[in-house]
Amino acid sequence: MIHIERQWKENLLTVEGKQLHERVDNPYEKEKRCDLIISRSMPLISHKMGIQGVADVVEFERTTKDKGMVMEGHSGLWLPYPIEYKRGNPKVDRSDEAQLTLQVLCIEEMLETSIEKAYIYYHQKRRRTKVKINNEMREWTVSMVEEMNNLFERGITPPAEKSKKCSNCSMKEICSPRLTKKYRPVKNYINDMMKEVGQ
């Protein structure tokens, strides 16, 4: 809905999420701790997949292994891994892992390296969760990007799946998940919403 229909609405949870990201979203803040370099708000792009975004944090860890990448101004080899910051707890679906996998794929393409792990920091748990980036997750995530690109090109909003999590969503009044039963052009979706509010 954000990218196809250009719609967005805030609520308490989205504001809290923004506050959580305030420190990590400073692109000028860099840290070096012995064998660790921390980069915040790192711009990401994949020309292969046609996507771009920003990683909350990317840590570069010095490695003694043969695999790794050279970093200008730093000796030795370094292994990057992204860290995504989330306001709540781990989700039951794979959306958090998919977002992290996309970041990994972008970094691998940009820096011509290979990444096997990444992390999600859940604010409610106050700790990192390690995510292994395996081939199955890579393939599934790429297939989701291909589907999204296809929907975006056709101007079609995917159907909402009503669930318990809708009650906390800032977009629930705009989305109206009970109205969406199949894929359809955005103009039909908006017309249905206008009828619902009597305009």
What is the pLDDT at residue 102? 96
Read off the pTM.
0.73
Closest CA to 56 of 64, 44, 47: 44
Cβ pair 82, 56 in contact under 8 A: yes
Domain ranges of the chain: 12-154, 157-199
Q: Is pLDDT larger for residue 97 or for residue 172?
A: 97
Closest CA to 77 of 94, 90, 60: 60
Closest CA to 100 of 125, 133, 127, 124: 133
Strands 36-46 and 184-185: unpaired
Q: Is pLDDT larger for residue 115 or for residue 194?
A: 115
What is the pLDDT at residue 134? 94
Residue 9: is its pLDDT beyond 60? yes
Distance CA 22, CA 44 (A): 19
pLDDT band at 178 (very low <50, low <70, confident <90, very high): low
Residue 122: is its pLDDT beyond 70? yes
Q: Is pLDDT larger for residue 167 or for residue 142?
A: 142
Identify the weakest region by mean pLDDT among 30-44, 78-92, 129-143, 179-193.
179-193
Q: Share the mean pLDDT of the chain.
A: 82
Residue 147: is its pLDDT beyond 70? yes
Residue 20: is its pLDDT beyond 70? no
Maximum mean pLDDT: which of 112-116, 122-126, 163-167: 112-116
